[in-house]
């Protein structure tokens, strides 16, 4: 049976047998059942609500990771500082699908200067009452980029050998210029709970945009380590998982599947490639009725015989395999 | 029919078109073809019921702002209803989708019904994501910072910033649910207009002569 024949037959109005069917009653029962089920599930199992991570919490629980991240923001080597659009203007940066760099096409619409926005700007709000910090910030800002790089490298090396406990940074003596006092002040400000506020309130009284603190938090490894424990990482099928023992976004199974297999799992362009593939598959899904071959799959699969088995029995057709339908399937 | 006192008004034209496409007996029939007799037909209306639970519980959650559910037992309960409603909504919708796929439900001028249903699923997934990233907890921090990379990689993140709580809030509370509801209404009208797709190889005597396209 061809697709056109199937399509034409289904266009004809039904004049065969009918049965009473109370749509409104069916809807009312469905609504009642869903309401009861959701209320019951809510009462029995509640819902996930793992507490948020504050920058203060991060600075106190993983101070060395915090300082390492703040240093990378200051010297422009963090993930955000080197991200490209939409945060930073870096020619050629961003993921590609073949030669196509869609990330660049979006443009820098959410500009972020990590050194200024995550470190120096917030610290400036407290430097007014701390002349030595103001001096350190001024020294950093007026130094050449080569000098800044040299100080940052020296501090980074010292930090690897040193330790950070509480709000105190203990590192071997090195030529790190103003970096140590800047990092010390950043750690103290974060630990005291003032960094988020300083990041958010420098631009406006009201604020609902948490882009900057979230980018800063994500640049460190602390957030990821917590996600790892909850099996939320990309290579742990994390998109389908949920914190705690709750069902996650299982409907993202196909999207997250690609991240588990090569070439996506090993590509630097994984997000762009997976998105490109999913956009293609999604177009196929939406336009399925228009695609020859795919639109005839239901007839090939034959599951319709189960769905409409009562009708087929009543008309003397379709007693499963070997029925009168065999030999009439799958021709586009 | 043209009124004796002049050309038909736009209102009359719209009314006549609506009556022609969906007369009351088509809009709310009390009988269905005999083949509409499987449990798989239940999942469409179950999806609709879950959507109503989501809109209702979401409305309650919106009354006192996005952080209310963290500080109130009542708020947390309604968040839980919303959470399980989401699970039920997607479960029912996916089963409904598979059922319609296996029936080849796009046959007989029903292609647009499939397209609108598929778009509803996609917009619903987007609506779900905007909800997940505005929870103001660890999950929203993690999901938003991960999801941004996907959106940024294809240039969408420059306009759809999952790290911007305010943008996600307005999208989740108003614009995206409105889109899901409107698409659902359109989908239901399409289903009622065309009727439930008949079985493959339906008996010829059960099918009337083909009607002109409307």
Q: Identify the H or E element spanning B33.
A: strand B31-33
**In terms of pLDDT, which residue wins out, A322 or B15?**
B15
- Amino acid B3: pLDDT: 53
Do residue B154 and residue A102 have CB atoms under 8 angstroms apart? yes
Query: B212: pLDDT confidence band, cut at 50, 70 and 90?
Result: low
Closest CA to A317 of A68, A1, A75: A1
Using a CB-CB distance cutoff of 8 angstroms, which residues of chain A are in contact with residue B119? 286
Note the pLDDT tens digit of each residue in B156-167.
Answer: 999 999 999 999
Using a CB-CB distance cutoff of 8 angstroms, which residues of chain B are in contact with residue A85? 152, 155, 158
- Amino acid A182: pLDDT: 97
- Amino acid A331: pLDDT: 42
B66 has a chain A CB within 8 A of its CB: no
A89: alpha, beta or left? (left if phi > 0; alpha if psi -120 to 50): beta
Buried/exposed A196-223: b ≥16 CB within 10 Å, e otherwise: bebbbeeeeeeeebbbbbbbbbbbbebb
Residue A50's CB: how many other CB atoms inside 10 A? 18
Question: Is pLDDT at B97 greater than 90 in this prediction?
Answer: yes
Do residue B122 and residue A282 have CB atoms under 8 angstroms apart? yes
Burial-class residue A42 by CB neighbours within 10 Å (0-12, 13-18, 19+).
buried
Residue A330's CB: how many other CB atoms inside 10 A? 15
Closest CA to B31 of A18, A13, A29, A27: A18
Average pLDDT of the residues in B202-210: 92
Quote the radius of gyration of chain A (alpha carbons, Å): 30
Contact A175, A220 (CB under 8 A): no
Task: Compute the distance between CA of residue A320 and CA of residue A7 in angstroms, rounded to an integer.
Answer: 23
DSSP-assigned letter for residue A50: P
Q: Identify the H or E element spanning A195.
A: helix A195-201
Do residue A103 and residue B153 have CB atoms under 8 angstroms apart? yes
Closest CA to A164 of A147, A148, A149, A186: A186
Among B88, B118, B154, select the one facing A34 at the smallest CB separation: B88
Task: Compute the distance between CA of residue B172 and CA of residue B58 in angstroms, rounded to an integer.
Answer: 10
CA angle A20/A24/A30 to nearest 5° reads 105
Among B102, B106, B150, select the one facing A301 at the smallest CB separation: B102
Note the pLDDT tens digit of each residue in A85-104.
Answer: 999 999 989 999 989 999 99
Do residue B167 and residue A53 have CB atoms under 8 angstroms apart? no
Q: Which residues of chain A have pLDDT under 70?
A: 1, 317-332
Chain B 91-130, residues with CB within 8 Å of chain A CB atoms: 94, 99, 101-104, 106-111, 114-115, 118-119, 122, 125, 128-129
Query: B214: pLDDT confidence band, cut at 50, 70 and 90?
Result: low
- Amino acid A319: pLDDT: 45
Task: Compute the distance between CA of residue A113 and CA of residue B155 in angstroms, rounded to an integer.
Answer: 20
- Amino acid A80: pLDDT: 97
- Average pLDDT score over chain B: 94
Q: Identify the H or E element spanning A321.
A: none
- Amino acid B206: pLDDT: 95
Q: What is the pTM of this model?
A: 0.91
Closest CA to B139 of B149, B129, B154: B129
Task: Compute the distance between CA of residue A110 and CA of residue B163 in angstroms, rounded to an integer.
Answer: 11
- With DSSP H G I counted as helix, E B as strand and the rest as coil, what are the percentages for chain B, rounded to 5? 70, 0, 30
Note the pLDDT tens digit of each residue in B20-73.
Answer: 999 999 999 999 999 999 999 999 999 999 999 999 999 999 999 998 999 999
CA–chain centroid gap for B33, Å, is 24
Percent of chain B whose pLDDT exceeds 90: 92
Contact A133, A182 (CB under 8 A): yes
B127: alpha, beta or left? (left if phi > 0; alpha if psi -120 to 50): alpha
Query: B192: pLDDT confidence band, cut at 50, 70 and 90?
Result: very high
């Amino acid at each position: 049976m061809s697709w056109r024949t199937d399509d034409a037959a289904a266009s004809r109005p039904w004049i065969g047998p009918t049965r009473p069917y109370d749509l409104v009653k069916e809807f009312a029962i469905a609504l009642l059942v869903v309401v009861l089920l959701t209320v019951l599930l809510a009462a029995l199992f509640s819902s996930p609500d793992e507490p948020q991570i504050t920058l203060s919490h991060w600075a106190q629980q993983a101070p060395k990771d915090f300082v390492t991240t703040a240093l990378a923001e200051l010297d422009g080597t963090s993930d955000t500082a080197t991200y490209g659009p939409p945060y930073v203007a870096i020619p050629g940066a961003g993921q590609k699908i073949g030669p196509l760099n869609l990330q660049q096409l979006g443009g820098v619409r959410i500009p972020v200067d990590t050194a200024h926005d995550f470190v120096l700007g917030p610290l400036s709000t407290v430097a007014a009452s701390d002349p030595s910090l103001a001096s350190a910030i001024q020294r950093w800002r007026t130094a050449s980029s080569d000098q800044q790089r040299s100080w940052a490298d020296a501090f980074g090396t010292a930090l690897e050998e040193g330790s950070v406990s509480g709000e105190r940074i203990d590192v071997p003596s090195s030529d790190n210029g103003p970096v140590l006092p800047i990092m010390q002040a950043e750690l103290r400000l974060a630990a005291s709970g003032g960094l988020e506020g300083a990041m958010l309130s420098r631009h406006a009284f009201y604020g609902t945009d948490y882009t900057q603190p979230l980018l800063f938090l994500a640049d460190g490894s602390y957030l990821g380590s917590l996600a790892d424990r909850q099996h939320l990482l990309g290579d742990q099928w994390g998109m389908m998982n949920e914190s705690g023992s709750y069902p996650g976004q299982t409907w993202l199974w196909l999207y997250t599947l690609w991240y588990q297999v090569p070439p996506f799992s090993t590509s630097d362009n994984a997000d762009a490639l997976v998105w490109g593939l999913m956009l293609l598959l999604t177009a196929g899904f939406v336009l399925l009725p228009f695609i020859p071959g795919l639109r005839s799959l239901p007839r090939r699969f034959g599951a319709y015989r189960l769905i409409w088995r009562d009708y087929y029995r009543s008309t003397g057709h379709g007693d499963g395999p070997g029925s009168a339908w065999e030999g009439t399937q799958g021709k586009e | 029919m043209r009124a004796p006192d002049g050309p038909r008004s736009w209102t009359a034209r719209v009314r006549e078109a609506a009556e022609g496409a969906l007369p009351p007996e088509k809009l709310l029939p009390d009988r269905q073809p005999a083949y509409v007799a499987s449990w798989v037909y239940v999942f469409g209306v179950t999806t609709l019921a879950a959507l109503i639970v989501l809109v209702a519980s979401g409305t309650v959650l919106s009354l006192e702002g996005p952080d209310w559910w963290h500080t109130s037992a009542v708020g947390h309960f309604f968040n839980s209803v919303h959470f399980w409603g989401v699970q039920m909504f997607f479960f029912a919708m996916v089963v409904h989708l598979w059922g319609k796929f296996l029936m080849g439900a796009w046959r007989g001028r029903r292609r647009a019904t499939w397209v609108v249903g598929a778009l509803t699923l996609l917009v619903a997934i987007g609506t779900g994501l905007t909800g997940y990233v505005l929870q103001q907890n660890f999950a929203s921090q993690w999901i938003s910072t991960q999801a941004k990379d996907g959106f940024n990689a294809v240039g969408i993140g420059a306009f759809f910033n999952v790290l911007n709580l305010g943008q996600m809030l307005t999208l989740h509370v108003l614009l995206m649910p409105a889109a899901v509801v409107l698409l659902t209404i359109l989908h239901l009208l399409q289903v009622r207009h065309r009727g439930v797709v008949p079985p493959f190889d339906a008996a010829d005597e059960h099918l009337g002569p083909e009607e002109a396209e409307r």
